[in-house]
Structure 1
Amino acid sequence: MTTGLATRPGGAPRTAQRRRTVSARRGALHRKEARGAWTLLAPYLVLLMIAGIIPIIYAIVVSLQKTPTNLEPNLTGFSGGQAFVTAFTDYRFLGTFANVFSVLIIWLPLMLVGIVGLALLVHASPGRFGNTMRFIYYIPGSLAGVANLMLWVYLLNPSQSPIGGLWHALGFETIKAVVATPGTLPPILTAMLFFQGVGTWILIVNGGLNGIPDEIFEAASIDGANAWYLAWHVKLPLIRPWIGYAALMNLAYGFQLFLEPYLLDQVAGGALPDQYTPTQLGFWFAFSNSNFPAAAAMSLVVLVITLGIGLFIVFRSGLFGEEEK
């Protein structure tokens, strides 16, 4: 007895051949994409080696060397980690990290709330108004480095500042009193860092919002979502990697805080501690105490702490997670 499902002669071999052909094409496409990815990645890997991996290896090597002294200027060799002991037992070591955390604990949450809130407002205001506000927010970010410091020197000087009445009301008559009074420096550094960087990060996060397909917003609106629900339950979860990226980069910048307290100390006549942050303490080890191994040890300590907190942010925010299909 025969059935109506008779197999065409040679059908199975042809099917297997087609599968092998498709598999070969997919493999070739995968290899082509991999070559393209490595080609695009190569310049970054070179930069990472020059500016990242090699300096880290060099810092590790230097931190394990003996420190030359006045009595033994040519002292060399393996120290057994004595540089780390020198850094950890320095009386300013814990204080420098406490100072940085006193700034980060105010600045980082304020920065993230400001970035996300203002980026959502700009995205919800398309057209000329949104473009104008985006430009206005970016203006403080263009005043980086010394230009930003000069602006703040003007604002912090009670005799010249447009908010001089506030400083006089608080009992401050000179810029030295404003900067050097205990408890005022963390808020001042927070304000400087916030206004310097918030505009740039608003543009970055707003770019992430612009990358969300309009169909998602249209579907949410059809389902009855208002502006608040759309921002909180639709936009915010979709830009979580962008928020994680902003937190990661600002955290790294905060731990490298050096220029702002250093220059404020200059305008305040040396009233601030010379080693206010870990990077300043490492600078002191290297160029005031000529202890380069201890300076390298300080840099590695900052690196380990920053990497630890950074990895936590990466995994919690899904920054490098795969996109859902």
Structure 2
Amino acid sequence: MTAPTRATGLVGDRAGRAPRRSRTTYLFVAGYVILLAAFGIVPTGYAVYFAFTTADGAFTGFDNFATSAQDFRFLPAVGHIALYLVFWLALLVILVVALSLLLHRLASHGTSRALRFLFYIPGALTGAASVMIWLFMLDPTVSPVSFLLRRLGYATFGEVIAPGHLPLLFALIAFWTGAGGWIVVMYGALNNIPTEVLEAARIDGAGAWHTAWHIQVPMLRKWIVYMVILAFAGGTQLFVEPQLLSQASVGVAGRDYSPNQLSYDFAFQMDNVNGAAAISVELLVVGLAVATVFVARSGFFDAE
């Protein structure tokens, strides 16, 4: 009688703890859902409403989208952001994966922890602060690396931030600020690769390069896709860097360098909130479309 009684008590105890555990889970999730609704879903719905209506609330179809697309600054802004994304995503994927593999290989030497900390420091800075640091670094008259800038043939700040250099400069700023967190994420993913797999590759005679290319990188594929999706979505919203550079350089970058800046200009300079909302919705649609393509083509949600 004792054993069944204990078993029954154990089952009852587990059944009693389960609802409490479920309530705790829902409580934690509720905080995120509330914030998501307040700062994500509701503003998105508000923007969609403005994009398809006039200032007095009348439905206007795609007129706001046509008006914003016909603006003479729209296509150049799209071209700027497209070129920037090419540099930004290429730098991010190649260097983040390479540096993560290097950190993983150096783990046994005791230097990995210090390097991870150094990589992550720039990510602690806000976007505006990081841009101000780079404005200082790119001015040959005050930069601590002025010797390098002069060796490259740049004697003035204006020469460094010439319009043709801006996509690469913005990509470097974005990489310096945001890559550290992704390096830490990729390093963690590398640590989850079974040691038996790496040991088998070593026994079979695979060197560091072959192990990285044929084993580690393929097993990082989903993390890389996840990084690209978020980086693309963030990259289409480029705003702080060109906005501050425009003010610091007396308009070299322009207040309408990116679509996000153009949306800001529509809303606060032209008093056309509906046109600004249309540009915002277009950026949202592009981000969702690219994310859908990457998820579908990469098998992101497929079971391993």
TM tier relative to shorter chain: 0.7 to 0.9
Give the alignment's TM-score, normalised by structure 1.
0.80
> What per-residue deviation string (whole Å, max 9, x for no partner) do you get for residues 175-233 of structure 1?
23322x23111111111111111211100111111122222222333333322222111
User: What is the one-letter code of the residue matched to 1:200?
Assistant: G
User: What is the one-letter code of the residue matched to 2:114?
Assistant: T
Tell me whether 214-223 or 53-62 shows the greater mean CA deviation. Answer: 214-223
Residue 185 (1) aligns with residue 160 (2): no
Preserved contact between residue 64 and residue 275 of structure 2 (Cα < 8 Å): yes
> What per-residue deviation string (whole Å, max 9, x for no partner) do you get for residues 278-300 of structure 1?
10000011111111110110000
Residue 79 (1) aligns with residue 45 (2): no
Greater Rg by CA: 1
Residue 108 (1) aligns with residue 89 (2): yes
> What per-residue deviation string (whole Å, max 9, x for no partner) do you get for residues 22-60 of structure 1?
xxxxxx9xx98xx68973654433333222222221111
Residue 238 (1) aligns with residue 219 (2): yes
Q: CA deviation at 1:96?
A: 0.8
User: What is the one-letter code of the residue matched to 1:312?
Assistant: V
| Structure 1 unmatched ranges of 5 or more | 1-27, 68-74
User: What is the one-letter code of the residue matched to 2:280?
Assistant: S
The aligned residue for residue 267 of structure 1 is 248
The aligned residue for residue 178 of structure 2 is 197
Tell me whether 145-154 or 247-256 shows the greater mean CA deviation. Answer: 145-154
After superposition, the CA RMSD in angstroms is 2.4
Q: CA deviation at 1:170?
A: 4.9
CA distance in 2, matches of 1:87, 1:108: 27
The aligned residue for residue 218 of structure 1 is 199
User: What is the one-letter code of the residue matched to 1:113?
Assistant: I
Preserved contact between residue 104 and residue 191 of structure 2 (Cα < 8 Å): yes
Pick one of 39, 45, 48 that aligns with 1:60. Answer: 48
> What per-residue deviation string (whole Å, max 9, x for no partner) do you get for residues 89-118 of structure 1?
111111111000111111211111000011
The aligned residue for residue 145 of structure 2 is 163
CA distance in 1, matches of 2:294, 2:217: 16
User: What is the one-letter code of the residue matched to 2:32?
Assistant: Y
Residue 49 (1) aligns with residue 49 (2): no
CA distance in 2, matches of 1:223, 1:42: 50
Preserved contact between residue 176 and residue 267 of structure 1 (Cα < 8 Å): no
User: What is the one-letter code of the residue matched to 2:82?
Assistant: F
| Aligned residue runs from structure 1 range 9-158, under 5 A | 39=26, 41-67=29-55, 75-127=56-108, 128-158=110-140
CA distance in 2, matches of 1:124, 1:170: 34
SS at match of 2:106: coil
Preserved contact between residue 155 and residue 161 of structure 1 (Cα < 8 Å): yes
CA distance in 2, matches of 1:272, 1:305: 24
Residue 229 (1) aligns with residue 210 (2): yes
The aligned residue for residue 311 of structure 1 is 292
Structure showing the higher helix proportion among its residues:
2
| Structure 2 unmatched ranges of 5 or more | 1-14
| Aligned residue runs from structure 1 range 287-302, under 5 A | 287-302=268-283
Preserved contact between residue 240 and residue 318 of structure 1 (Cα < 8 Å): no
CA distance in 2, matches of 1:38, 1:319: 26
Aligned residues: 285
Preserved contact between residue 163 and residue 253 of structure 2 (Cα < 8 Å): no
The aligned residue for residue 10 of structure 2 is none
Give the alignment's TM-score, normalised by structure 2.
0.86
SS at match of 1:125: helix
Preserved contact between residue 258 and residue 280 of structure 1 (Cα < 8 Å): yes
Preserved contact between residue 78 and residue 258 of structure 2 (Cα < 8 Å): yes
CA distance in 2, matches of 1:93, 1:312: 25
SS at match of 1:183: helix
Q: Using a 3 Å threshold, how does the CA distance of structure 1 residues 168 and 237 change in structure 2: closer, same or farther?
A: closer
Pick one of 223, 240, 251 that aligns with 2:232. Answer: 251
Residue identity (%) = 39
SS at match of 2:107: coil
Preserved contact between residue 166 and residue 253 of structure 2 (Cα < 8 Å): no
Q: CA deviation at 1:272?
A: 2.4
